[in-house]
Amino acid sequence: MADFDIHILGCGSALPTTRRQNASQIIDLRDKLYMIDCGEGTQLQMRRMRIRFSRLNHIFITHLHGDHCFGLPGLLSTLGMLGRQGELVIHGPKEIETYLQPILDLFCKNMGYPVRFNLIDPYQQTLVMEDRSLQVYSIPLKHRIPCCGYLFAEKPKEAHIIREMIDFYQVPVRMIKDIKQGADYITPDGTVVLNSRLTRPSATPKRYAYCSDTAYAPEIIPFIEGVDLLYHEATFCESDLARSKETYHSTARQAAEIARLAQVKRLIIGHFSARYNDLTPFLDEARQVFTEVSLAEEGMVLSL
Protein backbone atom coordinates (compact mmCIF):
# COMPACT_ATOMS: atom_id res chain seq x y z
CA MET A 1 0.00 0.00 0.00
CA ALA A 2 1.36 3.41 -1.00
CA ASP A 3 1.97 5.78 1.88
CA PHE A 4 2.10 9.06 -0.08
CA ASP A 5 2.91 8.70 -3.78
CA ILE A 6 2.56 11.15 -6.67
CA HIS A 7 1.99 9.65 -10.12
CA ILE A 8 2.89 11.91 -13.07
CA LEU A 9 0.37 11.20 -15.85
CA GLY A 10 1.23 14.22 -17.98
CA CYS A 11 3.76 17.05 -17.79
CA GLY A 12 3.43 18.90 -21.09
CA SER A 13 1.83 22.29 -21.67
CA ALA A 14 -0.79 23.50 -24.13
CA LEU A 15 -0.17 21.12 -27.04
CA PRO A 16 -0.25 17.35 -26.52
CA THR A 17 2.63 15.75 -28.41
CA THR A 18 4.08 12.29 -28.94
CA ARG A 19 6.75 13.23 -26.36
CA ARG A 20 4.61 14.64 -23.56
CA GLN A 21 0.98 14.42 -22.44
CA ASN A 22 -1.14 17.24 -21.05
CA ALA A 23 -1.15 18.05 -17.34
CA SER A 24 -2.46 15.50 -14.86
CA GLN A 25 -1.30 13.84 -11.66
CA ILE A 26 -2.64 11.31 -9.19
CA ILE A 27 -1.88 11.38 -5.48
CA ASP A 28 -2.13 7.96 -3.84
CA LEU A 29 -2.40 8.40 -0.08
CA ARG A 30 -2.76 4.98 1.51
CA ASP A 31 -4.90 3.70 -1.39
CA LYS A 32 -7.12 6.78 -1.63
CA LEU A 33 -6.69 8.58 -4.94
CA TYR A 34 -6.86 12.33 -5.59
CA MET A 35 -6.45 13.70 -9.13
CA ILE A 36 -4.94 17.09 -9.97
CA ASP A 37 -5.92 18.41 -13.41
CA CYS A 38 -7.19 16.21 -16.22
CA GLY A 39 -5.78 17.03 -19.64
CA GLU A 40 -6.40 15.01 -22.79
CA GLY A 41 -5.23 11.41 -22.52
CA THR A 42 -5.48 11.24 -18.74
CA GLN A 43 -7.57 8.08 -18.60
CA LEU A 44 -5.27 6.32 -21.07
CA GLN A 45 -2.32 7.18 -18.86
CA MET A 46 -4.20 5.76 -15.88
CA ARG A 47 -4.60 2.52 -17.84
CA ARG A 48 -0.91 2.42 -18.73
CA MET A 49 0.10 3.01 -15.11
CA ARG A 50 -2.46 0.48 -13.82
CA ILE A 51 -4.20 3.01 -11.59
CA ARG A 52 -7.60 1.81 -10.40
CA PHE A 53 -10.41 4.13 -11.47
CA SER A 54 -12.66 2.96 -8.64
CA ARG A 55 -10.48 4.53 -5.92
CA LEU A 56 -10.73 8.05 -7.35
CA ASN A 57 -13.18 10.26 -5.45
CA HIS A 58 -11.81 13.81 -5.78
CA ILE A 59 -10.56 15.78 -8.79
CA PHE A 60 -8.87 19.17 -8.32
CA ILE A 61 -8.82 21.48 -11.35
CA THR A 62 -6.46 24.45 -11.33
CA HIS A 63 -8.06 26.50 -14.12
CA LEU A 64 -10.10 26.31 -17.29
CA HIS A 65 -7.45 26.03 -19.97
CA GLY A 66 -7.98 22.97 -22.13
CA ASP A 67 -4.68 21.27 -21.37
CA HIS A 68 -5.83 20.99 -17.75
CA CYS A 69 -9.45 19.90 -18.19
CA PHE A 70 -10.24 18.52 -21.67
CA GLY A 71 -9.85 14.96 -20.35
CA LEU A 72 -12.73 15.30 -17.91
CA PRO A 73 -15.71 14.46 -20.19
CA GLY A 74 -14.20 11.16 -21.30
CA LEU A 75 -13.14 10.22 -17.78
CA LEU A 76 -16.60 10.96 -16.35
CA SER A 77 -18.21 8.85 -19.06
CA THR A 78 -15.81 5.98 -18.49
CA LEU A 79 -16.50 5.97 -14.76
CA GLY A 80 -20.20 5.61 -15.57
CA MET A 81 -19.58 2.70 -17.93
CA LEU A 82 -17.49 1.01 -15.25
CA GLY A 83 -20.52 1.01 -12.96
CA ARG A 84 -19.43 3.64 -10.49
CA GLN A 85 -22.02 4.46 -7.83
CA GLY A 86 -20.27 6.64 -5.23
CA GLU A 87 -20.15 10.42 -5.42
CA LEU A 88 -17.34 12.11 -7.36
CA VAL A 89 -16.37 15.62 -6.23
CA ILE A 90 -14.80 18.06 -8.67
CA HIS A 91 -13.07 21.03 -7.05
CA GLY A 92 -12.14 24.13 -9.01
CA PRO A 93 -12.97 27.71 -10.03
CA LYS A 94 -16.64 28.47 -10.69
CA GLU A 95 -16.14 28.10 -14.46
CA ILE A 96 -15.70 24.34 -14.04
CA GLU A 97 -19.43 23.86 -13.50
CA THR A 98 -20.27 26.09 -16.46
CA TYR A 99 -18.02 23.90 -18.62
CA LEU A 100 -19.10 20.46 -17.41
CA GLN A 101 -22.80 20.73 -16.60
CA PRO A 102 -23.95 20.83 -20.27
CA ILE A 103 -21.76 17.81 -20.99
CA LEU A 104 -23.27 15.95 -18.05
CA ASP A 105 -26.76 16.89 -19.20
CA LEU A 106 -26.12 15.80 -22.80
CA PHE A 107 -23.90 12.74 -22.54
CA CYS A 108 -24.20 11.50 -18.96
CA LYS A 109 -27.92 11.61 -18.17
CA ASN A 110 -28.14 8.06 -16.91
CA MET A 111 -24.88 7.75 -15.01
CA GLY A 112 -25.17 5.68 -11.87
CA TYR A 113 -23.22 8.11 -9.71
CA PRO A 114 -23.59 11.78 -8.72
CA VAL A 115 -21.08 14.49 -9.62
CA ARG A 116 -20.79 17.31 -7.11
CA PHE A 117 -19.00 20.59 -7.79
CA ASN A 118 -17.09 22.31 -5.01
CA LEU A 119 -16.55 25.82 -6.38
CA ILE A 120 -13.62 27.67 -4.88
CA ASP A 121 -12.24 31.20 -5.00
CA PRO A 122 -8.87 30.93 -6.79
CA TYR A 123 -7.77 34.31 -5.41
CA GLN A 124 -7.84 33.13 -1.78
CA GLN A 125 -5.97 30.53 0.21
CA THR A 126 -8.74 28.39 1.67
CA LEU A 127 -9.34 24.89 2.97
CA VAL A 128 -10.84 23.16 -0.06
CA MET A 129 -11.28 19.61 1.22
CA GLU A 130 -10.71 17.61 4.38
CA ASP A 131 -11.06 13.94 5.17
CA ARG A 132 -9.59 11.59 7.78
CA SER A 133 -6.17 11.53 6.13
CA LEU A 134 -5.69 14.85 4.41
CA GLN A 135 -6.33 18.58 4.22
CA VAL A 136 -6.21 20.31 0.83
CA TYR A 137 -5.72 24.08 0.53
CA SER A 138 -5.92 26.30 -2.53
CA ILE A 139 -2.87 28.39 -3.50
CA PRO A 140 -3.61 31.61 -5.44
CA LEU A 141 -1.48 31.68 -8.61
CA LYS A 142 -0.70 34.35 -11.17
CA HIS A 143 -2.00 33.43 -14.62
CA ARG A 144 -4.00 34.89 -17.51
CA ILE A 145 -7.27 33.55 -16.11
CA PRO A 146 -8.35 32.61 -12.56
CA CYS A 147 -6.02 29.83 -11.44
CA CYS A 148 -4.96 28.17 -8.22
CA GLY A 149 -2.54 25.52 -7.12
CA TYR A 150 -3.14 23.06 -4.31
CA LEU A 151 -1.35 22.12 -1.09
CA PHE A 152 -1.91 18.54 0.10
CA ALA A 153 -1.15 18.34 3.81
CA GLU A 154 -1.23 14.92 5.44
CA LYS A 155 -2.83 14.84 8.86
CA PRO A 156 -0.71 13.62 11.80
CA LYS A 157 -0.91 9.89 12.35
CA GLU A 158 -1.56 8.32 15.70
CA ALA A 159 1.45 7.44 17.83
CA HIS A 160 2.78 3.88 17.78
CA ILE A 161 2.07 1.78 20.85
CA ILE A 162 5.06 0.22 22.64
CA ARG A 163 3.60 -3.20 23.27
CA GLU A 164 6.08 -4.15 25.98
CA MET A 165 5.17 -1.07 28.06
CA ILE A 166 1.45 -1.59 27.55
CA ASP A 167 1.84 -5.14 28.86
CA PHE A 168 4.10 -4.06 31.73
CA TYR A 169 1.58 -1.51 33.04
CA GLN A 170 -1.35 -3.78 32.19
CA VAL A 171 -3.12 -1.05 30.26
CA PRO A 172 -6.76 -2.03 29.49
CA VAL A 173 -7.63 -2.46 25.83
CA ARG A 174 -10.29 0.25 26.11
CA MET A 175 -7.54 2.81 26.85
CA ILE A 176 -5.39 2.06 23.81
CA LYS A 177 -7.21 4.47 21.48
CA ASP A 178 -6.85 7.40 23.89
CA ILE A 179 -3.19 6.62 24.48
CA LYS A 180 -2.52 6.56 20.72
CA GLN A 181 -4.05 10.04 20.58
CA GLY A 182 -1.78 11.38 23.33
CA ALA A 183 -3.40 10.54 26.68
CA ASP A 184 -1.38 9.50 29.72
CA TYR A 185 -2.37 6.38 31.65
CA ILE A 186 -3.33 6.43 35.32
CA THR A 187 -2.85 3.10 37.07
CA PRO A 188 -5.39 1.79 39.60
CA ASP A 189 -3.18 3.07 42.45
CA GLY A 190 -3.11 6.60 40.97
CA THR A 191 0.36 6.55 39.37
CA VAL A 192 0.55 8.63 36.19
CA VAL A 193 2.38 6.90 33.34
CA LEU A 194 3.39 9.52 30.80
CA ASN A 195 2.33 8.95 27.22
CA SER A 196 5.97 9.19 26.11
CA ARG A 197 6.68 5.94 28.01
CA LEU A 198 3.89 4.11 26.23
CA THR A 199 4.25 5.29 22.64
CA ARG A 200 6.71 6.17 19.90
CA PRO A 201 6.03 9.21 17.72
CA SER A 202 4.57 8.53 14.29
CA ALA A 203 6.28 9.71 11.12
CA THR A 204 6.17 13.45 10.47
CA PRO A 205 3.17 14.36 8.25
CA LYS A 206 4.10 15.02 4.62
CA ARG A 207 3.14 18.00 2.46
CA TYR A 208 3.00 18.31 -1.32
CA ALA A 209 2.41 21.54 -3.27
CA TYR A 210 1.28 21.69 -6.90
CA CYS A 211 1.76 25.07 -8.62
CA SER A 212 0.76 25.19 -12.28
CA ASP A 213 0.14 27.45 -14.24
CA THR A 214 1.73 30.63 -12.94
CA ALA A 215 4.08 33.47 -13.66
CA TYR A 216 6.89 34.07 -11.17
CA ALA A 217 4.97 34.81 -7.95
CA PRO A 218 6.98 35.11 -4.70
CA GLU A 219 3.71 35.84 -2.87
CA ILE A 220 2.98 32.09 -2.83
CA ILE A 221 6.04 31.36 -0.68
CA PRO A 222 4.24 31.54 2.71
CA PHE A 223 1.77 28.91 1.49
CA ILE A 224 4.40 26.36 0.40
CA GLU A 225 7.25 27.04 2.80
CA GLY A 226 9.16 23.91 3.79
CA VAL A 227 7.03 21.40 1.85
CA ASP A 228 8.48 17.95 1.27
CA LEU A 229 7.95 18.24 -2.48
CA LEU A 230 7.05 21.16 -4.73
CA TYR A 231 5.84 20.70 -8.29
CA HIS A 232 6.27 24.04 -10.04
CA GLU A 233 5.64 24.73 -13.67
CA ALA A 234 8.64 25.59 -15.85
CA THR A 235 7.12 26.11 -19.27
CA PHE A 236 10.13 27.96 -20.71
CA CYS A 237 13.88 28.36 -20.42
CA GLU A 238 15.47 31.74 -19.69
CA SER A 239 16.14 32.20 -23.40
CA ASP A 240 12.36 32.59 -23.79
CA LEU A 241 11.86 34.83 -20.76
CA ALA A 242 9.93 37.42 -22.79
CA ARG A 243 7.50 34.74 -23.95
CA SER A 244 7.05 33.48 -20.39
CA LYS A 245 6.09 36.96 -19.21
CA GLU A 246 3.68 37.41 -22.11
CA THR A 247 1.87 34.13 -21.36
CA TYR A 248 2.09 34.33 -17.54
CA HIS A 249 4.29 31.28 -17.20
CA SER A 250 7.57 30.59 -15.42
CA THR A 251 11.07 29.63 -16.47
CA ALA A 252 13.07 26.81 -14.93
CA ARG A 253 15.28 29.32 -13.14
CA GLN A 254 12.26 31.12 -11.69
CA ALA A 255 10.76 27.85 -10.45
CA ALA A 256 14.06 27.04 -8.74
CA GLU A 257 14.16 30.49 -7.16
CA ILE A 258 10.70 29.92 -5.66
CA ALA A 259 11.90 26.58 -4.28
CA ARG A 260 15.02 28.19 -2.80
CA LEU A 261 13.13 31.04 -1.16
CA ALA A 262 10.47 28.69 0.22
CA GLN A 263 13.16 26.30 1.52
CA VAL A 264 11.35 23.28 0.16
CA LYS A 265 13.00 19.88 0.47
CA ARG A 266 12.65 18.80 -3.19
CA LEU A 267 11.53 20.41 -6.44
CA ILE A 268 10.16 18.82 -9.58
CA ILE A 269 9.55 20.96 -12.64
CA GLY A 270 7.13 20.30 -15.48
CA HIS A 271 4.53 21.75 -17.88
CA PHE A 272 7.20 21.99 -20.57
CA SER A 273 6.42 23.84 -23.79
CA ALA A 274 6.14 21.67 -26.89
CA ARG A 275 8.82 23.79 -28.57
CA TYR A 276 11.55 21.99 -26.61
CA ASN A 277 12.80 18.57 -27.64
CA ASP A 278 15.74 18.48 -25.23
CA LEU A 279 14.92 19.24 -21.59
CA THR A 280 18.52 19.22 -20.37
CA PRO A 281 18.74 23.04 -20.34
CA PHE A 282 15.79 23.16 -17.93
CA LEU A 283 17.61 21.01 -15.42
CA ASP A 284 20.89 22.89 -15.86
CA GLU A 285 19.21 26.27 -15.32
CA ALA A 286 17.30 25.13 -12.25
CA ARG A 287 20.32 23.50 -10.61
CA GLN A 288 22.24 26.73 -10.75
CA VAL A 289 19.75 28.03 -8.18
CA PHE A 290 18.44 24.93 -6.33
CA THR A 291 20.22 21.59 -6.31
CA GLU A 292 17.43 19.19 -5.24
CA VAL A 293 15.51 19.39 -8.50
CA SER A 294 14.27 16.82 -11.04
CA LEU A 295 12.44 16.88 -14.34
CA ALA A 296 8.91 15.50 -14.44
CA GLU A 297 8.39 12.55 -16.76
CA GLU A 298 5.26 10.64 -17.77
CA GLY A 299 4.99 7.43 -15.76
CA MET A 300 7.14 8.74 -12.92
CA VAL A 301 6.10 7.85 -9.36
CA LEU A 302 7.46 10.03 -6.56
CA SER A 303 7.27 8.80 -2.97
CA LEU A 304 7.29 11.15 0.01
Residues 66 and 49: their CA atoms lie apart, in Å, by: 23
Summarize pLDDT for 160-194 with one digit per residue, the tens.
888 888 888 788 888 888 878 888 888 888 888 88
Nearest to 110 by CA among 152, 68, 81, 90: 81
Residues 39 and 260: their CA atoms lie apart, in Å, by: 29
Summarize pLDDT for 55-85 with one digit per residue, the tens.
999 999 999 999 999 999 999 999 999 999 9
Name the phi and psi angles at 125, rounded to 5.
Answer: -85, 115
Contacts of residue 258, defined as CB under 8 A and 6 or more positions apart, other chains included, come to 211, 216, 217, 218, 220, 221, 224, 230, 232, 250
Residue 198 has a pLDDT of 78
pLDDT in tens, the chain (304 residues): 568 999 999 999 888 888 899 999 999 998 899 999 999 999 999 999 999 998 999 999 999 999 999 999 999 999 999 999 999 999 999 999 999 999 888 877 778 899 999 999 999 999 999 998 899 999 999 999 999 999 999 998 877 888 888 888 788 888 888 878 888 888 888 888 888 887 887 788 999 999 999 999 999 999 999 999 999 999 999 999 999 999 999 999 999 999 999 999 999 999 999 999 999 999 999 999 999 999 999 999 999 9
Name residue 245's amino acid: K
Structural contact between residues 51 and 240, judged by C-beta atoms closer than 8 angstroms: no
Residues 17 and 92: their CA atoms lie apart, in Å, by: 26
Domains of the chain are 5-157+203-303 (3.60.15.10), 160-200 (no CATH)
Catalytic residue IDs:
67
Q: What are the start-end ranges of the E strands in the chain?
A: 5-10, 24-29, 32-38, 56-60, 88-92, 115-119, 127-130, 134-140, 148-154, 160-161, 185-186, 192-193, 199-200, 207-211, 229-233, 267-270, 293-295, 301-303
Residue 56 has a pLDDT of 94
Residue 1 has a pLDDT of 54
Structural contact between residues 251 and 291, judged by C-beta atoms closer than 8 angstroms: no
Residue 191 has a pLDDT of 82
Residue 145 has a pLDDT of 95
